[in-house]
Structure 1
Amino acid sequence: MFAIFLGMLDAQIVATALPRIVGDLGGLDVFAWVTTAYIIASSVTTPLYGKLSDIFGVKNVFLAAVAIFIAGSAACGLAQSIGQLIAFRTLQGIGAGGLFVSVLAIIGSLFTPREGARYYGLFGIVFAASALIGPAAGGVLTDVISWHWVFFINLPVGLVVLFLISRFLRLPSRPGRAKIDYAGFVTLAGAVVIATLLTSWGGVSYSWLSPQILGLGAGFVVLTAAFVAIERKAAEPVIPLHIFRDRTFTLCCLLSIVAGMVFLGAVNFLALYVQVVTGASPSMSGLVLLPMMLGLVVSSVGSSKLIARTGRYKLYPVLSMSLGIVAAVLLSTMDTGTPRWLAIVYMVIFGLAAGLNMQVLTMASQNTAPRADLGAVSASVTFARQLGSSVGISLFAAVFYGRLTDELAERVPPGALDATDPDSLSSQQVLDRLAAPVRHAVEQSYADSLTAVFHTAIPVLAVALVCALMLKNIPLRSQDHDTSDTRGQTSEPSGTH
């Protein structure tokens, strides 16, 4: 639970501090890579951590992941340029890739799916603490000290995690001979990076029919095909392909991709809206985002408790995607004239939608998996969510920045920003120095760019709603996992539950 707190706290704090970081270091056109690099690194290493856990034991891999995360956090806090920060966020992401998958594997191995639902409730409470503390803490640290401390704060928390895990966590050790699928790992990493570049550059840096984009598309197809061919023959595949025979698992992966794209990929842009369009300071921005995170926590913890009580889960991803469509439509209407209280209401709806799928998809996929595949299944669902986040942030950044460039050129009088670095427009100090008409034009440009982001999210959520409706409502098992279980079949809960 402390490890989950560590990872989630970092995500919430950094999102609030990003506008100030961009204002200090520049790089508005690449600011999304501060998050994207982190997510790519955590995405491509997540399935590897799952396999390493199956071979060397969850505890050993868990400790290594926490140590790497702490080292990356310290390096990020010392960064002096946007390039350095992106590089160090990559290192931090490598460690983060093992945090969540290890916790999910531990819960899956210690408890039956029905019992695990109760512990996911505790998971939700810890997430609540980080979600509620994070935005406000990020704003206060940025305003009072500097944004560097949003990374340094991870060090004491991480050291506590290392001590507690090494001293108190007791798990059965299952060491085995290491058979790492290096070829599969390299081709998977290459495919993820290319997919991220494709969505980031397409239509912005290069036209969709340019040789660069067509080349990336061809490279993605080749690497994906190579990955599938390698996994079919690998003795210890990074992602065992046989787990995709389970329809529930496959649908959960698809839903996780969309959840990562929309519900995680859009948060950075909401922080930009709050600070640039509404004029909030980083501290106030954290408070404005707080109700959204509270909505996420309430729906996450509440849905986990109801699932533990009933053993049924299908309703929640359906509600998540349906409510997400409503929230995206509402958020797309926000502009400079939208009252802050109304923007908060829209964000709360968005948070409620996000929380309804937080633990559900992992529980559903673990429910149909035999014990031998728990590590791979947990890692794959987590990987799918992080892959969606990586692609989503890049896609939304491309949409946002492409639209912002056009809006600024159309709305701002010629020469009005000649003395202003465009990368610094997210800084309130810079905006305060602009003439009122110019500042209003900049704020409206940011608002219209955010509208384009949520217009893009609506059809993605609609596809996910169809996938959610296709889920089978298989009751969570009350019995322990057994390697003899038939994949995709589960025992009905006994009457005593």
Structure 2
Amino acid sequence: MSAPTTGSHPPQSGASPAPDTRIKTVIAACMLAIFLAMLDAQIVATALPRIVGDLGDLDLFAWVTTAYIIASSVTTPVYGKLGDLFGRKKVFLVAIALFLVGSAVSGLAQSMEQLILFRTLQGIGAGGLFVSVLAIIGELFSPREGAKYFNMFGMVFAGAALAGPAIGGVLTDLLSWHWVFLINLPLGVVVLALVASCLHLPPRSRRAHIDYAGFTTLSTAVVALTLLASWGGVKYGWTSPQILGLGAVALVTGALFVAAERRAAEPVIPLHLFRDSTFGISVLVSFAAGIVFLGAVNFLALYIQVVTGASPTLSGVVLLPMMFGLVAASVVSGRIITQTGRYKWYPVLSMATGIVGALLLSTMDTGTPQGLVIAYMLLFGIAAGLNMQVLTMAAQNTAPRDDIGAVHATVAFTRQLGSTLGISVFAAVFYNRLTEELARRIPAGALGGVDRDALSSHEVLDELAAPVREAVENAYAAALGPVFLGAVPVLLVGLGAALLMRNTPLRSWDHGSPEDSPEESAGAPAEAPADQR
């Protein structure tokens, strides 16, 4: 995996202390880079309905998010190894540059296919931001000093989660959807300049063995699975040669990945970690959480803008309660767990609350009062926040200290993989149902030649006759219900797994031993959100 975690080694003796001002500048630049990467997912979700209305290809809209997630998740371990070989600063600068180039060309995209391709480039850059920042902090500070900066991740995540939907709506309304990507450029250039001028680290002398076979087979399996979930039953039949071929590719490359990891000197995902039940359960629950919670914003934005008629700006405001619930639940649960050292019942409560929230969201239609919509989203956000950092805490608590980097990467990767598959599967469910509902509710010729893929645009909806517009709104509402109902079985699996988790007290590593008493962990700093580790 990447460089040792911040708690695993002292600062290198060759590193001369940087001036205090320079250190603060570097930390500010690192946090701004994390903010940009987190903001991007939230800000784009709000603009997706307008993007679909402008570029068309509604059946591809989920790939605007999916391509970004795949690219960032499969490249994260690569950046860790490159940092070992060539130094954190160089790799970080390359990641920032790729993210900015991807943002620029995404803002200039003229078709959905172009946008998906450019978002992939942007995701490749984003994959290096988190891992590089964590490794840089680990080299600049001792473990106890660095802990307070890891805690800042929670505030950065909160800012991005709360500000993203509103910023996305404002930019889309006042300028255009192109600016949800172009806004990254001025901020990113500042990060690039500050890191280039102020970050000074000793040269890297240790050479690492890159698990090329593991990276290649894992990436191929993930792409094949995502294509299968996205195209199955929509673009191709489930028994078509294309879908069966993708399934075969996923199975073969998955088996090759396992074989490669058994032989690799430094595997992407050390298989011995799964011998511990706590780690295995944490990975499974994280996968379930990724499927359900991380894809919800895309479909809620469609409901708010198309069904309720809210503008992108107002929809960003309406989405804030869900983001507030997520952040509040994450922060509060993290503080309580830090004080008590106990964590089991938070993922249990997350899955149970998520089931209730998903069932309530599935009942929404054109007549649902806005107050109820906000209440349902708040509950769903709380459910998402209750498992955010807990699963990483649980997984690392029983893992060998030398594997902590692999633990963080694996839990985050499975959450991202779940998100990728969840968005694709739910998009397929939504699109199939929407096609049926539009055909059933709208008479032939009533749309007057309007492309059905453009019906999520306010400008297009406003031009339709009142009865036709009402039929479109009802069709969207009917198509979104099965999406949230489909989340319930996944959450039930997550709930069953969470109930089997051992409630092992958190241990402290501040004194260098994995076997330190659980009581010492009460004063340990809170962990950063799982998706940032």
TM-score normalised by structure 1 residue count:
0.92
Kindly provide the amino acid, as one letter, of the partner of residue 390 in structure 1. Answer: T
Change (3 A) 1:420 1:111: farther
Query: Among residues 155, 158, 162, which one is paired with 1:132 in the alignment?
Result: 162
1:222 aligned onto 2:252:
yes
Partner-residue secondary structure (3-state), 1:493: helix
Kept after mapping to 2: 8 A contact 1:73/1:92:
yes
CA distance in 2, matches of 1:465, 1:113: 34
Distance 1:331 1:496, change over 3 A: closer
Task: Please say if residues 367 and 490 of structure 1, whose CA atoms lie closer than 8 Å, have aligned partners that are also in contact.
Answer: no
Cα 1:86–1:9 shift into 2, 3 Å: same
Match of 1:415 among 442, 445, 452: 445
Q: Which residue of 2 aligns with 1:39?
A: 69
Cα distance between partner residues in 1 of 2:408 and 2:91: 15
Q: Name the CA distance, whole Å, in 2 between partners of 1:262 and 1:490.
A: 36
Change (3 A) 1:66 1:261: same
Q: How big is each residue's C-alpha offset from its partner over 1:344-385, in whole Å with a ceiling of 9 and x where there is no partner?
A: 110111111111112222222233334432322222121111
1:67 to 67, 74, 97: 97
Between the aligned residues of both structures, percent identity stands at 68
In the alignment, the residues of structure 2 paired with residue 256 and residue 357 of structure 1 have an alpha-carbon distance, to the nearest angstrom, of 8
- Look up the match of 1:445: 475
1:87 maps to 117
- Check the 8 A contact 1:266/1:396 in 2, yes or no: no
Aligned residues of 1:479 and 1:491 also touching (Cα < 8 A): no
| Whole-Å separation in 1 of the counterparts to 2:278 and 2:202 | 28
Matched-pair contact (CA < 8 Å) for 1:69–1:96: yes
Kindly state the Cα deviation for residue 6 of structure 1 after the two structures are TM-superposed. Answer: 1.1
User: 5+ residue gaps in structure 2?
Assistant: 1-30, 524-533
Residue 331 of structure 1, CA deviation: 0.2
Distance 1:456 1:231, change over 3 A: same
Please name the residue that 2:230 is paired with: 200
- In the TM superposition, what is the alpha-carbon distance from 1:163 to its structure 2 partner? 4.3
Distance 2:522 2:236 in 1: 61
Match of 1:493 in 2: 519
* CA displacement, residues 44-98 of structure 1 (integer Å, 9 cap, x when unaligned): 1123234444555555543432222122111211212211111110001111122
1:267 aligns with 2:297: yes
Query: Could you tell me which residue of structure 2 aligns to residue 213 of structure 1?
Result: 243
Distance 1:74-1:284 versus aligned 2 partners, 3 A rule: same
How far apart, CA to CA, are the structure 2 residues paired with 1:396 and 1:72?
Answer: 26
The alpha carbon displacement at 1:235 in A equals 2.3
**Contact 1:47–1:239 at 8 Å: present in 2 too?**
no
Contact 1:191 1:220 in 2 (8 A): yes
Match of 2:219 among 189, 197, 200: 189
Q: Are positions 1:145 and 2:175 aligned together? A: yes
Contact 2:322 2:379 in 1 (8 A): yes
Q: Is the 8 A contact 2:225 2:250 kept in 1?
A: yes
Aligned to 2:419: 389
**What is the CA deviation profile of residues 138-162 of structure 1, one whole-angstrom value per residue up to 9, with x for unaligned ones?**
1111111111111111122223333
Question: How far does residue 462 in structure 1 lie from its aligned partner after superposition?
Answer: 0.6
Q: Is the 8 A contact 1:72 1:89 kept in 2?
A: yes
TM-score (norm 2): 0.86
Moved more, 49-58 or 358-367: 49-58
| Partner Cα distance (1:288, 1:241) in 2 | 43
Contact 2:287 2:415 in 1 (8 A): yes
Secondary structure of the corresponding residue to residue 520 of structure 2: coil
Moved more, 328-337 or 119-128: 119-128
What CA distance in whole angstroms lies between the structure 1 residues aligned with 2:244 and 2:304?
36
The SS at the match of 2:282 is helix
The answer (yes or no) to whether the contact 1:105–1:378 under 8 Å persists in 2 is no
Q: Secondary structure at the match of 1:207?
A: coil
Indicate if the aligned counterparts of 2:84 and 2:207 stay in contact, CA closer than 8 A.
no
Shift, 1:261, TM fit: 1.1
Matched pairs, number: 492
How much does 1:312 deviate? 2.0
Structure 1 residue 166: deviation in Å?
A: 5.0
Distance 1:34 1:342, change over 3 A: same
Give the residue type in structure 2 aligned to 1:181: D
Do the aligned residues in 2 keep the contact of 1:54 with 1:375 (CA within 8 Å)?
no
Aligned match for 1:290, one of 298, 320, 327: 320
Instruction: Write the mapping of 1:303-314 to structure 2, written as runs, cut at 5 A.
Output: 303-314=333-344
User: Are 2:339 and 2:522, in contact at CA under 8 Å, matched by a contact in 1?
Assistant: no
Which residue in the other structure is 2:190 paired with?
160
Deviations 1:394-432 (A, max 9, x none): 011100001100111111112212410111100011111
Q: Which residue of 1 aligns with 2:367?
A: 337
Change (3 A) 1:254 1:51: farther
Moved more, 190-199 or 177-186: 177-186
1:478 aligned residue: 508
Mapped pair 1:320 → 2:350: yes
Shift of 1:218: 1.7
State the one-letter code of the partner of 1:357. N
Q: CA deviation at 1:168?
A: 5.7
Partner Cα distance (1:174, 1:217) in 2: 41
| Secondary structure of the corresponding residue to residue 416 of structure 1 | coil
Classify 1:318/1:270 alpha carbon distance in 2 versus 1 (closer, same or farther; 3 Å): same
Tell me the residue number matched to 2:402: 372
Mapped partners of 1:433, 1:495: distance in 2: 61
Aligned residue in 1 for 2:17: none
Indicate conservation of the 8 Å contact 2:40/2:164, yes or no.
yes
Q: 2:48 aligns with which of 9, 13, 18?
A: 18
Cα distance change, pair 463–496 in 1 and its aligned pair in 2 (3 A): closer
Write out per-residue CA displacement over residues 254-296 of structure 1, whole angstroms, 9 at most, x where no aligned residue: 1221111111112101000000000001111111111111111
Q: Matched residue of 1:350: which SS?
A: helix
Of 466, 469, 476, the residue aligned with 1:436 is 466
For the Cα contact (< 8 Å) 1:114–1:477, is it kept in 2?
Answer: no
Note the C-alpha offset of 1:104.
5.2
* C-alpha separation in 1, matches of 2:207 and 2:339: 40
Aligned partner of 2:207 among 177, 180, 189: 177
Counterpart mapping for 1:96-115 below 5 A: 96-103=126-133
Spell out, residue by residue over 1:198-238, the C-alpha distance to the aligned partner (whole angstroms, 9 max, x if none): 11111222222233222221221111001111111122322
CA–CA distance in structure 1, aligned partners of residues 301 and 84 of structure 2? 39
Label 1:319 to 1:378 Cα distance change in 2 as closer, same or farther (>3 A): same
Unaligned segments of structure 1, at least 5 residues: none
